[in-house]
């Protein structure tokens, strides 16, 4: 007979009641006794430990204090059922309820209630079991089961390294079923890519720290190799000895592929698959460091294909790309695996040579032969889209030794040497020249100063008088001058070429044009100047601007000047490209806007009657180079006479510049030239001095 059987006998004597009470106190299971109204009569030690109440704190209270039923009416029905005589001696209710401890915490309780019949009212005995710990264990088991069947593969081995447990993700990744691997060593997954030293280091980490994390290449059942991210943990028993090893791993093939693609985009050219500038810089940094240790020379070669743009324009971009791929192939083949071949962009390639020689002379000789070989290799014919194509290259070379110079400085020097090769006629090799660098740096400083000059209004216009055969003023040429705050007056011959290369000439030309129009507006109220025309030089780049005609027209309207007083001097180079577009612009300027057009420096460029007769010009300007050596019966005299006769036959005015002597003026006049400009009549002068010159001249 169980304890519960003893305390739930049908009939209990008073003596037996005392014994039963002692038994209840001794039982380790939480037990309580209540009457049919739910009042607590006894509360054993185990119940006190469960609920946190002392017996004297809880006895006399109702069961509701321990078990706050959600539905009081239902609870009362249960109590009434307990009081029925026919139910005495059996367990009439077993259910899960919620208990409430003294501190207010709620926890699940399994409650079994039995009734015993006493001399008075029935006595109810409740047996309580704490379900909280059991539920926590169940939940932990559910969580563990769910975690075990995740997408991450799990493999458990015993202390000897034999597999004892795997999950479904393991089977999916490796292709092995549990039956095929349990009891076997994980070596069946080995790819053969890792040596014994790798595994020795891995196991040493597990022994020392209890875990290891890293990447391993393994082999699936199909034979396919795949990379995986692995974490191995040693599981120790209560005695501190390892009883199991648990390995968690994931297949990172897709991640590896993505990393490789990202790496390729970051460090390699997409067309040629050569290293790009970023990777070249990294390797050049390493080369400089190695050179500093070995004291060996290295070299950087910048290779640019000659006239590559023309190939793209005539044959198309697809053919151009095919040529670039073939050039890359040839460079890689000849340069070899130990040297870096990179593509900087466009048609520009780089070869990095490391560890050439310890002395400079030997290094130069080696690189010179190497570069010449590269040049000849690239000059060999190409078969592009079934058509034989020829190409050449310009190569710039810069030697280095140690880390005296930065990576960017070396690339810049090799680049300058390459441009020197182009300037030397293309299809040749040039070594970096320090004097060239000094010249380039000076030009760069001057260009930077020029940008400041535009914003700080350091430019000003000088005016050189133009006269007729009677030496009376008929106009002036506006000439730009730069008064630098530190350099002083900077020659136009020095800064105009730089302005044209940097395209600053467009912004500068716009300022000259507007300033000239503004001055013509002021001269409208000046007796000595209101009849003058003002000539303005227009660069080819400025003339090619799509809105050039509109800009000229806008300035004329803004300053309300007579259009015919403005004369635009154009160079012959504007007619070299898109002649029809040039003629259309000139027609609009002359016949719509109303300005005069003069062809400057005639005879020094590509003068051709075929286009000269088509250009809507007002004037030809004889270049000063012909006037300077002008003598009677000289070749220049014959040429000048021919120019004047031709211009007059075309109905054009002629003006000669650079007139410095009376003899030159007389010969020009004799040959029919009707306008003159030069030091004989006046130098280029600031506005105030020019206007002072006009005041002493006879009016037109």
Closest CA to 346 of 388, 382, 306, 379: 306
Question: How does DSSP assign 595-640, residue by residue?
Answer: -EEEEEEETSS---HHHHTTS--SEEEE-HHHHHT--TT-HHHHHH
Task: Report the C-alpha gap between 494 and 622 in whole angstroms.
Answer: 23
Q: For residue range 490-515, what is the model confidence (pLDDT) as tens digits?
A: 989 889 988 988 899 999 999 999 99
Residue 316: count other Cβ atoms within 10 Å of its Cβ.
Answer: 12
Task: Report the C-alpha gap between 332 and 455 in whole angstroms.
Answer: 49
Q: Are strands 31-34 and 123-130 parallel, antiparallel or unpaired?
A: antiparallel
Per-residue pLDDT for 291 more than 50?
yes
Task: Decide: 66 and 100 in contact? Cβ < 8 Å.
Answer: yes
149-256 folds as Beta-Lactamase (3.30.450)
Q: For residue range 159-176, what is the model confidence (pLDDT) as tens digits?
A: 888 998 888 888 888 999
**What percent of the chain is helix, strand and coil (3-state, nearest 5)?**
45, 25, 30
- 413-446 burial: b if 16+ Cβ within 10 Å, else e: bbbbbbbbbbeeeebbbbbbeeebbeebeebeeb
Sequence-separated (6 or more) residues with CB below 8 Å from residue 432: 396, 397, 398, 399, 413, 414, 416, 417
Predicted confidence band at 316 (pLDDT cuts at 50, 70, 90)? Answer: confident
Q: pTM here?
A: 0.50
Closest CA to 409 of 429, 375, 387, 437: 437
Helix/strand/coil (H/E/C) assignment for every residue in 438-492? HHHHHHHHHHHHHHHHHHCCCEEEEEEEEEECCCCEEEEEEEEEEEECCCEEECH
- Region for 144 from its dihedrals, namely left if φ exceeds 0, alpha if ψ lies in -120 to 50, beta otherwise: alpha
Task: Decide: 562 and 532 in contact? Cβ < 8 Å.
Answer: no
Sequence-separated (6 or more) residues with CB below 8 Å from residue 423: none
Task: Report the C-alpha gap between 473 and 231 in whole angstroms.
Answer: 95
- 625-634 burial: b if 16+ Cβ within 10 Å, else e: ebbeebeeee
- Region for 212 from its dihedrals, namely left if φ exceeds 0, alpha if ψ lies in -120 to 50, beta otherwise: beta
Which phi and psi angles does 270 have, rounded to 5°?
A: -70, -30
pLDDT of residue 119: 64
Per-residue pLDDT for 140 more than 70?
no
Closest CA to 372 of 389, 391, 349, 395: 395
Q: For residue range 577-634, what is the model confidence (pLDDT) as tens digits?
A: 678 889 999 999 999 999 999 998 776 655 556 677 788 999 999 988 888 878 766 7
| Fold match, 3-131 / 149-256 | yes
Q: For residue range 353-368, what is the model confidence (pLDDT) as tens digits?
A: 998 998 888 888 899 9
Domain residue spans of the chain: 3-131, 149-256, 268-432, 453-696
Q: Tell me the mean pLDDT in the region 647-671.
A: 92
Strand ranges across the sheet with 91-100: 40-43, 31-34, 123-130, 106-116, 91-100
Share of the chain above pLDDT 90, in %: 40
Helix (H, G, I), strand (E, B) or coil at 71: coil
Helix (H, G, I), strand (E, B) or coil at 173: helix
Share of the chain above pLDDT 70, in %: 85
* 220-223 contact pairs (CB < 8 A, 24+): 220/173, 220/174, 220/175, 220/189, 221/174, 221/175, 221/176, 221/180, 222/175
pLDDT of residue 111: 83
Check whether domain 453-696 has CATH 3.20.20.450, yes or no: yes
Q: How far apart are the first and last CA of the chain?
A: 147
* 551-559 contact pairs (CB < 8 A, 24+): 551/510, 551/513, 552/513, 552/589, 552/593, 552/595, 553/592, 553/593, 555/513, 555/514, 555/517, 556/517, 556/593, 556/594, 556/595, 558/517, 559/517, 559/518, 559/520, 559/521
Facing residues of 232 across strands?
212, 247
Per-residue pLDDT for 10 more than 60?
no
Task: Report the C-alpha gap between 211 and 242 in whole angstroms.
Answer: 12
Task: Decide: 654 and 673 in contact? Cβ < 8 Å.
Answer: yes
Per-residue pLDDT for 223 more than 70?
yes
Task: Decide: 130 and 101 in contact? Cβ < 8 Å.
Answer: no
pLDDT of residue 196: 86
Task: Report the C-alpha gap between 26 and 37 in whole angstroms.
Answer: 26
Q: For residue range 408-443, what is the model confidence (pLDDT) as tens digits?
A: 889 999 998 998 899 888 899 999 877 666 766 788
Supply the mean pLDDT for the chain. Answer: 85
Task: Report the C-alpha gap between 550 and 541 in whole angstroms.
Answer: 16
Check whether domain 268-432 has CATH 3.40.50.300, yes or no: no
pLDDT of residue 560: 95
Task: Decide: 109 and 128 in contact? Cβ < 8 Å.
Answer: yes
Dihedral (CA of 535, 540, 545, 546) sign: positive
Helices and strands (DSSP H and E) totals, the chain: 26, 27
Predicted confidence band at 8 (pLDDT cuts at 50, 70, 90)? Answer: very low
Task: Report the C-alpha gap between 146 and 634 in whole angstroms.
Answer: 107
Q: Are strands 653-657 and 619-622 parallel, antiparallel or unpaired?
A: parallel
Facing residues of 535 across strands?
477, 567
* Cα 312 to chain centroid, rounded: 27
Burial class (CB in 10 A: 0-12, 13-18, 19+), 240: exposed
Residue 57: count other Cβ atoms within 10 Å of its Cβ.
Answer: 14
Higher pLDDT, 328 or 77: 328
Facing residues of 62 across strands?
39
Residue 268: count other Cβ atoms within 10 Å of its Cβ.
Answer: 17
Q: For residue range 438-483, what is the model confidence (pLDDT) as tens digits?
A: 766 788 888 899 999 988 889 999 999 999 999 999 999 999 999 9
Q: Tell me the mean pLDDT in the region 185-208.
A: 88
Q: Quote the Cα angle for 367-372-378, to 5°.
A: 125
Task: Report the C-alpha gap between 240 and 143 in whole angstroms.
Answer: 26
Higher pLDDT, 343 or 635: 343
Predicted confidence band at 120 (pLDDT cuts at 50, 70, 90)? Answer: low
Burial class (CB in 10 A: 0-12, 13-18, 19+), 24: buried
Predicted confidence band at 1 (pLDDT cuts at 50, 70, 90)? Answer: very low
Helix axes 253-267, 277-294, angle to 10 degrees: 80
3-131 CATH, one of 3.40.50.880, 3.30.450.20, 1.10.40.30, 3.30.420.270: 3.30.450.20
Facing residues of 653 across strands?
619
- 361-395 burial: b if 16+ Cβ within 10 Å, else e: eebbeebeebbeebbeebeeebebeeeeeebebbb
Burial class (CB in 10 A: 0-12, 13-18, 19+), 2: exposed
* Cα 78 to chain centroid, rounded: 76
Predicted confidence band at 97 (pLDDT cuts at 50, 70, 90)? Answer: confident
Task: Report the C-alpha gap between 77 and 69 in whole angstroms.
Answer: 12
Sequence-separated (6 or more) residues with CB below 8 Å from residue 542: 505, 506, 509, 510, 548
The least confident of 257-266, 340-349, 539-548 is 257-266
Number of residues assigned to the chain: 700
The least confident of 57-61, 86-90, 329-333 is 86-90
């Amino acid at each position: 007979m169980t304890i519960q059987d003893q305390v739930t006998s049908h009939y209990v004597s008073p003596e037996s009641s005392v014994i039963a009470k002692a038994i209840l106190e001794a039982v380790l299971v939480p037990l309580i006794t209540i009457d049919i109204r739910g009042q607590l009569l006894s509360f054993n030690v185990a119940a006190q430990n469960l609920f946190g109440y002392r017996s004297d704190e809880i006895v006399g209270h109702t069961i509701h204090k321990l078990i706050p039923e959600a539905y009081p009416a239902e609870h009362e029905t249960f109590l009434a059922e307990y009081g029925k005589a026919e139910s005495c001696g059996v367990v009439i209710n077993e259910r899960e309820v919620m208990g409430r401890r003294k501190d207010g915490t709620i926890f699940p309780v399994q409650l079994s209630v039995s009734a015993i019949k006493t001399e008075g009212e029935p006595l109810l005995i409740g047996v309580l079991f704490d379900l909280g710990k059991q539920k926590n264990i169940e939940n932990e088991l559910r969580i563990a089961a769910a975690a075990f069947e995740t997408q991450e593969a799990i493999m458990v081995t015993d202390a000897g390294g034999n597999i004892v447990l795997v999950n479904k993700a393991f089977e999916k990744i490796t292709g092995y079923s549990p039956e095929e691997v349990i009891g076997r060593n994980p070596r069946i997954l080995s790819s053969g890519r890792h040596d014994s030293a790798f595994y020795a280091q891995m196991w040493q980490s597990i022994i020392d720290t209890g875990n290891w994390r890293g990447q391993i290449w393994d082999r699936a059942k199909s034979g396919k190799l795949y990379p995986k991210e692995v974490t191995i943990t040693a599981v120790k028993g209560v005695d501190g000895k390892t009883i199991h090893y648990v390995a968690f791993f994931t297949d990172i093939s897709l991640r590896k592929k993505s990393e490789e693609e990202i790496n390729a985009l970051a460090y390699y050219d997409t067309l040629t698959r050569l290293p790009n500038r970023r990777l070249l810089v990294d390797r050049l940094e390493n080369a400089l460091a190695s050179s500093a240790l070995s004291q060996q020379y290295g070299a950087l070669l910048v290779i640019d294909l000659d006239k590559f743009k023309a190939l793209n324009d005539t044959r198309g971009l697809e053919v151009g790309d095919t040529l670039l791929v073939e050039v890359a192939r040839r460079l890689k083949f000849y340069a070899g695996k130990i040297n870096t071949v990179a593509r900087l962009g466009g048609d520009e390639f780089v070869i990095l040579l490391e560890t050439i020689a310890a002395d400079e002379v030997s290094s130069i000789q080696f690189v010179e032969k190497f570069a010449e070989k590269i040049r000849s290799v690239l000059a060999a014919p190409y078969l592009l889209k079934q058509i034989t194509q020829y190409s050449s290259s310009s190569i710039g070379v810069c030697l280095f030794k140690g880390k005296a110079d930065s990576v960017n400085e070396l690339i810049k020097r090799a680049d300058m040497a390459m441009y020197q090769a182009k300037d030397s006629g293309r299809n040749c090799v040039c070594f970096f020249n320090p004097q060239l660098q000094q010249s380039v740096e000076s030009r760069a400083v001057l260009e930077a100063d020029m940008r400041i000059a535009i914003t700080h209004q350091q430019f000003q216009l000088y005016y050189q008088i133009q006269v007729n055969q009677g030496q009376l003023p008929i106009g002036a040429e506006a000439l730009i001058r730069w008064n630098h705050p530190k350099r002083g007056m900077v020659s136009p011959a020095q800064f105009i070429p730089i302005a044209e290369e940097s395209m600053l000439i467009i912004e500068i030309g716009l300022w000259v044009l507007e300033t000239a129009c503004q001055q013509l507006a002021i001269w409208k109220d000046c007796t000595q100047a209101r009849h003058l025309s003002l000539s303005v030089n227009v660069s080819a780049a400025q003339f090619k601007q799509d809105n050039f005609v509109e800009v000229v027209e806008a300035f004329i309207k803004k300053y309300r000047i007579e259009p015919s007083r403005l004369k635009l001097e154009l160079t012959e180079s504007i007619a070299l490209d898109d002649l029809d577009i040039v003629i259309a612009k000139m027609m609009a300027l002359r016949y719509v806007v109303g300005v005069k057009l003069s062809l400057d420096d005639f005879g020094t460029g590509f003068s051709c009657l075929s286009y000269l007769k088509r250009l809507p010009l007002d004037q030809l300007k004889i270049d000063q180079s012909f006037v300077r050596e002008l003598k009677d019966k000289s070749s220049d005299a014959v040429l000048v006479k021919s120019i004047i006769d031709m211009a007059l036959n075309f109905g054009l005015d002629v003006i000669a510049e650079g007139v410095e002597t009376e003899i030159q003026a007389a010969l020009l006049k004799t040959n029919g030239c009707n306008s003159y400009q030069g030091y004989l009549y006046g130098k280029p002068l600031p506005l105030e001095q020019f206007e002072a010159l006009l005041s002493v001249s006879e009016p037109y």
